Chains A and B, each alone.
Chain A
Amino acid sequence: MSSLVILALLPLIGAVLVGVLPSSNELLIKQAALGTTILTGLFGIYIATQFVASDTAFQFVQKNEWIPSFAINFSVGVDGLSLVLILMSVILTPIVVLAGWHESEGGRWSVKVFYILVLILETMMIGVFAATDVFLFYVIFEAMLIPVYFLIGGYGSGERAAAAVKFLIYSLFGGLLMLASIIGIYVVSSNAGYASFDITELADLHTVMSSTTQNLLFLGFFIAFAIKAPLWPLHTWLPDAAKAGSPGTSVLLLGVLDKVGTFGMIRFCITIFPDASKTFTPLIITLSVISILYGAFLAIRATDLKRLIAYTSISHFGFITMGIFAMTSQGHSGATLYMFNHGFSTAALFIVGGWMISRRGSSTIADFGGLQRITPVMAWMFFFAGMSSLALPGLSSFVSEFLVLVGTYTRYPVAAIIATFGIVLAALYILIPVQRALHGPTTPGNEHLKDLNLREKIAIAPVVAVIVAFGFYPSPLLNIINPAATHVLEKAGFTDPAPTENAGK
């Protein structure tokens, strides 16, 4: 069995383990869940060390027949792109479990159910990135909605039921379009003489597709991914879901699950439909630029901490899609690195924001005030997370954001220039809440808030470490990402624009 499959099964085994533990022993359940996720994280890191970066073929491959009559296989494997996303997922999950130690309490269902849902979700997160069969991907893509739906609806706050339904309907709508496209792929590949759902084989399918077919099938995938990502104007489910979900759920939702959208754009849209991708690039770049500014505008006005973080993510996802569709190596690698970095950056914001909210009993930014002098460590962590979100040089998000901008500029200078205004807006949407929540005199009701305890410090420390370490030294990640990004672009027929004035080369 491939070690990748073992990695994906570990959390599932943990879920079974948690399932047989007595419901009354909540501490033991939490410890079991934490232990499982830590083990999965360590094993994930081990797999990453065994990965051969220079090899662009899928690695740790496992392929079993599943539904032979439709040429559907259970096939998994990773390349540089999926590896960093899996790595991000398995590192973030134990942090989420530890950081939100009490999130599972007081939900609609038991503590036990919460951790079973989280662990099943982790298996699916690994699976969705590892799937190399389009149909398998689709099944996991849709199945993932179930644990998230229950996590939001069962353990969220406020209008959690409505938000969960909105999330579900949006996602199902996208999934439906994708299903239509998948059926289309099957039809086209059958007509071409080889029925297949294998992503490597489908990479050549575009040679036999008419441009209309390609465009339509592309759109089916793309709309599903644009909802997931989310790209303007398909984003309105996200702030509601992020507001209603518990902070840990929101980390997994925005940090990991939304990446399935941007991951899918590279893995499926560009790989299978390179010509359609080219056709729609102007539209997508435009939507991305709108997302960057629009998300930032909404974030500047946000009065609720959780909605604020959701809006910043809309802006950040705009950068990611822009980088992807700039079709340059800097844009592509930058976008993939951005996905990884955004996971940690958003995790930091949601985790620390979640602590602030649970202490204060409110997520309204105006209810905070003067925290820097009451809870200095927590305030510092929030500030740090904010600096990461506004891509301060020296932190990891700067590297990816700058790569995206420079990679976009070489092909779409106007788009890059407009997008760069986002860095000024980012300063506003971070420093305005920082001032409201952390500075100024103490707002009544905050005098006795407690600073971070040891568990919380341990939970946030690795996030901080990752953000700083890869800010100064991103090479380990870029070494994994670069070959995969170059490979995708080469297959799709894109080369980097040469320097326009460089006479030396």
Chain B
Amino acid sequence: MNTSSSLVYLIALPLIGAVTLLLGGRRTDKWGHLLATALSGGSFVVGLYQLNEMLGRATEDRAVTQKLFNWISVGDFNVDASLLLDQLSICFVLLITGVGTLIHIYSISYMAHDENRRRFFAYLNLFIASMLLLVLGDSYLNLYVGWEGVGLASYLLIGFWNQKPAYATASKKAFVMNRVGDMGLSFAIMIAFATLGTTSFAGVEEQAHHASEAALTAIGIMLVIAAAGKSAQFPLQAWLGDAMAGPTPVSALIHAATMVTAGVYLIIRSNFIFEAAPSAQLVVVIVGAITLLFGALIGTAKDDIKKALAASTMSQIGYMILASGLGPVGYVYAIMHLLTHGFFKASMFLGAGSVMHGMNDEVNMRKYGNLRKFMPITFITFGLGYLAIIGVPPFAGFYSKDGIIETAFNAGGFKGYLLGGITLLGAAITAFYMTRLMVLTFTSKARWDDDAHPHESPALMLIPIAILSIGSVASGFLFKQGDALKNWLKPVFGEHGDHHEEHLFEPIVVSAMALTAVVIGVSIALKKYQFTEVAKVAPENVSIFTRMARKDLGQDAFNEAVFMRPGQAITELAEKVDVKVIDGAVHGVGRMAIGSGSALRKTQSGFARSYAALILVGTIVLLAGIWVVTQ
């Protein structure tokens, strides 16, 4: 494989920015944001250079590696710090650095009045560096470093205003739930090493050919857990809504366009495992299908514009995860949707930021209305993103989502109909909640508080949104044109890449069904919100479904009941055991030793008997533990 000595600069540039701004402290306040933006832009330029180099090579020679140094080496456990850039990772590199740089530019203006703007930019650069490591690492362990690195950056940014206790709690929740996912990644790596003797992508791919399906299924399912944590997929989705506590550019970059799509990357990168482990692949599909409906349903009832978009993100990533469980054709559409979604969702989040900027940071859409008159550019760019996400041709989302729906139907048999039906239903609900969002914000009657003075945002915020809008309009068409993205990615999937497609329906029929679904969704939303007076305060007399959706379908209540309270009970028990039983026994022994006379009397009063019973119970528990642990 070819080597390149410049891959490391992709990561090094933003990392230098983060370290400079964090160590430099207040001294860098004046120019820190400019440096961070320039370094993120520099990383984008390196990415473009790499793309250009890649295009100059033959299809099969396009991947390049760079070995930095031997990281960990003990016995047969040998891990290099080594980078891999291939057709798959370059897509991510350009998305991360491209959208990332635009969001840096936007934030210069958006965060202008925050006294800690420098720290914000340091975190952003830290995020870019970690995310690039995530997609460039050539082994699961290298990926892991980036994987937790983005988790840290996400934690720091969600809690950027952590003086508010609720925000601090939101950031902690995100980190902890992500760690549950990370545990899955740890398991996957451990199993891979124990069974295949390696943790590098190339090594695992090679060994996967003659490994048992059981081992690969185990690894695969652990990877799905990891993906669910990072990508806010069922059952680890509950953190994403709260993550909206972070400043809006963060929601656009990390919690919409890039970090939350890392799970999709992980699954597609591990295609050689899932191709050989159909059960694990089925789990991927199920997780995606559940989440795409779960998120969409939550999205229908949210009045907070950011939380509505977050629910939408969860749902759209559900589409990607679903597709990434459908084989090589699915991989291509998953990546295509990931990229188009990166454009349109980032543009809409930044648009939401622009709206909040003009509305005193109000996020409740019931207090918006008629903003198109006051924020025409934001309205137009948001509108383009809207058309893209609901899948109106020829906007970006049409191509990618249609592809996923089609692939879902093509899964064959009952499964095909079921998945196809779910994706169509999702499309209808998406059209509903996005229309609701558009109408409530831009086209319904004004419902502002008296002190609101809506105004358009400055150019520094609008230009990045406008650039992203170009992507919302054109990217889907470009990716689909002549199967450009499909042919580009083909070599990554090796021999699996040449699947023959079985069509259940003609593509035009699928498009017609999808558009019908969209029209239904849009119509219902228009009727309910455009042509009916919208209440300024959320009505209470709503259906059970709306109430459930408002409470995120009970996800927090469930986690509280099943994990948090029992967990608290366990820690309480541990504390009691420590004080009363273990330390109590120690002190008891001490007392017995000191006063043997009185101790003798105590034996009569059951003191020794209770300890004997205790020791007996303890021994039994311990023996059981030994048996379990050494299985």
Contacts and interface: CB of A to CB of B under 8 A. Distances in A.
A415 interface: yes
A289 B176 CA distance: 21
A233 interface: yes
Interface in A194-233: 233
B628 interface: yes
A104 B75 CA distance: 46
Contact of A496 (B76, B196, B572, B575): B76
Interface string B600-631: 00000000000000000000001001101111
Chain A at the B interface: mostly helix, strand, loop or mixed?
Answer: helix
B210 A431 contact: no
A499 B175 contact: no
B583 interface: yes
A410 B572 CA distance: 33
Contacts of A475: 69-71, 73
Interface string B572-605: 1011001000110010001000000000000000
Given A301-B574, A370-B163, A393-B149, A403 B74 contact: yes
Contacts of A440: 162-165, 168
Interface stretch (A66-74, A150-158, A264-272, A326-334): A326-334
Contacts of A420: 183, 186-187, 190
B629 A431 contact: no
A333 B215 contact: no
B47 interface: no
A474 B72 contact: yes
A496 B75 contact: yes
Interface string A104-122: 0000000000000000000
Contact of A432 (B81, B145, B172, B575): B172
B75 A486 contact: yes
Given A329-B74, A420-B187, A286 B578 contact: no
A392 B72 contact: no
B74 A298 contact: no
A501 B163 contact: no
Contacts of B630: 282, 285-286, 412, 414-415
Interface string A406-421: 1101101111111011
Contact of B183 (A236, A285, A387, A423): A423
Interface in B171-216: 172, 175-176, 179-180, 182-183, 186-187, 189-191, 193-198, 206-207, 210-212, 215
Contacts of A424: 176, 179-180, 183
Interface string A465-502: 00000001111001000100110000000001111111
A298 B626 contact: no
Nearest to B186: A420
Interface residues of B, number: 66
Contacts of A333: 74-75
Contacts of A505: 197
A373 interface: yes
Contacts of B197: 498-499, 502, 505
Centre residue among A399, A403, A439, A440 by max chain B CB count within 10 A: A439
A294 interface: yes
A480 to B, nearest CB: 12
A435 interface: yes
For this complex, into which size category does the number of interface residues on chain A fall?
Answer: 35 or more
A364 B50 CA distance: 53
B69 A473 contact: yes
Contact of B194 (A286, A410, A503): A410
A90 interface: no
B571 interface: yes
Contact of A478 (B72, B626, B631): B72
A405 interface: yes
B576 to A, nearest CB: 10
Given A439-B165, A499-B195, A409 B190 contact: yes
Contacts of B189: 402, 406
A438 B156 CA distance: 13
B75 A441 contact: no
Interface string A296-319: 011011000000000000000000
A428 B186 contact: no
A297 B570 contact: yes
A432 to B, nearest CB: 7
A301 B190 contact: no
B159 A501 contact: no
A291 to B, nearest CB: 12
B144 interface: yes
B443 interface: no
B314 interface: no
B182 to A, nearest CB: 7
A282 B626 contact: yes
Contacts of B73: 475, 478, 482
A286 B629 contact: yes
A435 B70 contact: no
B132 interface: no
Contact of B195 (A283, A496, A501): A501
Contacts, number: 194
A423 B186 contact: yes
Interface string B63-106: 00000011111111100010000000000000000000000000
A406 B193 contact: yes
Contacts of A410: 193-194
Chain B at the A interface: mostly helix, strand, loop or mixed?
Answer: helix
B250 interface: no
A120 B585 CA distance: 34
B152 interface: yes
Contacts of A370: 163
Contact of A501 (B75, B147, B210, B629): B210
A200 to B, nearest CB: 24
A95 interface: no
B301 interface: no
B148 interface: yes
Nearest to B180: A424
Interface in A327-349: 328-330, 333-334
A452 B546 CA distance: 52
Contacts of B187: 417, 420
A413 B194 contact: yes
B571 A502 contact: no
A420 B185 CA distance: 11
A337 to B, nearest CB: 9
A394 interface: yes
Contacts of A282: 626, 629-630
B169 interface: yes
A444 to B, nearest CB: 15
A423 B183 CA distance: 7
Nearest to A486: B75
Contacts of A32: none
A439 B190 contact: no
A246 to B, nearest CB: 23
Contacts of A428: 176
Interface in A163-190: 169
Nearest to A236: B583
Contacts of A286: 622, 625-626, 629-630
20 contacts: A233-B582, A236-B578, A236-B586, A294-B578, A298-B578, A387-B152, A394-B148, A403-B77, A406-B194, A409-B193, A417-B187, A420-B187, A421-B183, A423-B186, A478-B72, A496-B75, A499-B194, A501-B211, A502-B196, A504-B210
- Shortest 6 CB-CB contacts between residues of A and residues of B: A499-B197, A329-B75, A439-B168, A297-B574, A439-B162, A409-B190
Interface of A: 169, 233, 235-236, 282-283, 285-287, 289-290, 294, 297-298, 300-301, 328-330, 333-334, 370, 372-373, 380, 387, 392-394, 398-399, 402-403, 405-407, 409-410, 412-418, 420-421, 423-424, 427-428, 431-432, 434-435, 438-441, 472-475, 478, 482, 485-486, 496-505
Given A423-B186, A434-B172, A440-B163, 12 more contacts: A235-B582, A286-B622, A301-B572, A406-B190, A410-B194, A424-B179, A427-B179, A431-B175, A474-B72, A499-B193, A501-B207, A505-B197
